[in-house]
Amino acid sequence: MTETNWNDLAQEYTKRDFPRNDWVYGYQPVLDLLGDINGKRILDYGCGSGKFSRVLAEKGAEVIAVDPTESMLTLARAHNCQRINYQYIESNDISFVDAIDAAVATYVLCGRADDQEVVDIIKNIYGKLSVGGSFIVLDPHPMNRLGADRSGLVKICLEGMQNPIFDYWRPVEKYVSLLQEGGFALDTTLEPKDGWGNPQMLIVRGRKCTR
């Protein structure tokens, strides 16, 4: 199974910061869905070098930022960590996390090939959310990932990076079913489009309705 080696790519990926399209069609709509997060406990699952964690903290959230890549966390901790608790995780284990008000996973699930692993991640997050809390997933829109091979693998060469990233293609309805299998009630689906009407990102929000 082909996976991105984030330890090798940490430096060059971090230098990209927030490309315009990623922000306009992705991160900004996620912030809009989160609403007022001042004083809220937010889990940033797969935080990488912490760029979005810092945005959340600047807006007053108490951020629990977790990632399975040590080199990414080293880069994250080199910045202001006020209101951010960075933690290394193995095997998607977040058992140490206390109750949270909301969670985000930005450009994370698209890198996981195994549907069952994705469901396990979603269930783990569901278990940490307070009732009424939301989980927001942001990934590239499937329409932008049509070059997948039979296994769903997509090789991506991003501007400014010498090494490729490997994602796995899933249709919109698959994201919905995975969230529901993980226990969430689907709340919102967004597919922000560019000026030509082409969907750029997929954003889905699930809500925890019961214990």
Instruction: Give the model confidence (pLDDT) of 84-136 as tens digits.
Output: 999 999 999 999 999 999 999 999 999 998 999 999 999 999 999 999 999 99
Tell me how far apart the alpha carbons of residues 142 and 25 are, in angstroms, rounded to a whole number. Answer: 14
Q: So what's the pLDDT on residue 151?
A: 63
Q: So what's the pLDDT on residue 10?
A: 66
Tell me how far apart the alpha carbons of residues 172 and 199 are, in angstroms, rounded to a whole number. Answer: 12
SS3 state of residue 140: strand
Tell me how far apart the alpha carbons of residues 107 and 102 are, in angstroms, rounded to a whole number. Answer: 17
* Per-residue model confidence as pLDDT tens digits over 155-192: 777 777 777 778 888 999 999 999 999 999 999 999 99
Beta bridge partners, 44, equal: 65, 104
SS3 state of residue 43: strand
Tokens of 77: 């901790």
Q: So what's the pLDDT on residue 21?
A: 87
pLDDT of 146 higher than 70: no
